[in-house]
Structure 1
Amino acid sequence: MNPSRILLLPGWQNSGPDHWQSRWERLHGDERVEQHDWHWPRRGDWMARLDEVLLQDDRPALLVAHSLGCQLVASWAEHSRHTARVQGALLVAPPDTERDDAPPQLHNWRPIRRGRLPFASIAVISSDDPYGAAERSAQMAADWGSRVVMAGPRGHLNAESGLGDWPEGRALLHGLKDN
């Protein structure tokens, strides 16, 4: 079997240079899925872009999503005919786009897609994520069929969380490879 390719799916406004996704891109050669508009993300456009990138290569893919990227995986999986190309997904800090205080740029990501994912997945959830209560995030993960890993009070699990190269996340990703 061909080695998996690792596709990074950043959230709203992309992942900055100190974010663990950007570090993984530099350290491990993971491939960032670039979106046309990071500031006014349209669900259908992001889903089409993920399909496009997956179809560029026959190797199985591991999806590594942060924040809105988690909602992308759930939405894409409900509609794509190419889910068999995905070996697994690491879903980090899934946000609650249905919250009353969600930014207007994210309103078209409602309702949250809650169908069971057709591939193995792990959701990493912080107990004090400002973009989603841990209980709501854990319920989303359960609906998706994801194994939940509670990360403790780590904020939004981004550059401000002090994760650095985040070797613990990389170990979770490698566990998905073995499925």
Structure 2
Amino acid sequence: MLGFNLPVSPQYIVPPLVLAIIATLLMAFDMRDTLEFHRQLITDGQVWRIWSSQYIHTNWTHLGLNLVGILFIWVLHAEHTSIKRYFAHVLLLGLWTGLGIWLFCPDIRVYTGLSGLLHGIIVWGALKDIQVKEPTGILLFLGIVGKLAWEQYAGPSTDVGNLIDSRVAIESHLIGALGGLVLAIPLFTQSLGLNKSETK
């Protein structure tokens, strides 16, 4: 946990700031019609929408909620990652989430937003906390699991849906979180390797 020592070095500030600026510019220039996940248009050959849809939003409130998510992750886990790793996670989890929606959520016809991939990033960060024996890591991880379980049980929030002018795609949260688990596998294979070395 970072406490009151916020991660203000450029290597920690630049990646989330760039992601926030890109998402804001895409909103300002109204790129939704060109980039959103639209199942019929993807079927017709516009396959880039599977990935590009992860970085655009339905309205400014939707964007604002995800910018808060970016800020939250920066405060909690910026020092766990590097510029290269941050953007690798953003790109890979964006593709993972889009493909997951395409393959496993046929009822989702239109989709936008960073929330799926952000769930993946925060899951990875919580597992990194656990790997480095940060005591709040397990609490954060259990909190995310609880949130996801509640969403799957209770369904999408109507209030949030009204704010963002769209149904909350809770499926993307689960898919993104599973992507974060996959990205975290090397953390624990490395830990197992170190533990084996220490016992020899």
Normalising by structure 1, we get a TM-score of 0.27
Q: Which has the higher helix share?
A: 2
Normalising by structure 2, we get a TM-score of 0.25
Q: Which has the higher strand share?
A: 1
Bigger radius of gyration among the two: 2
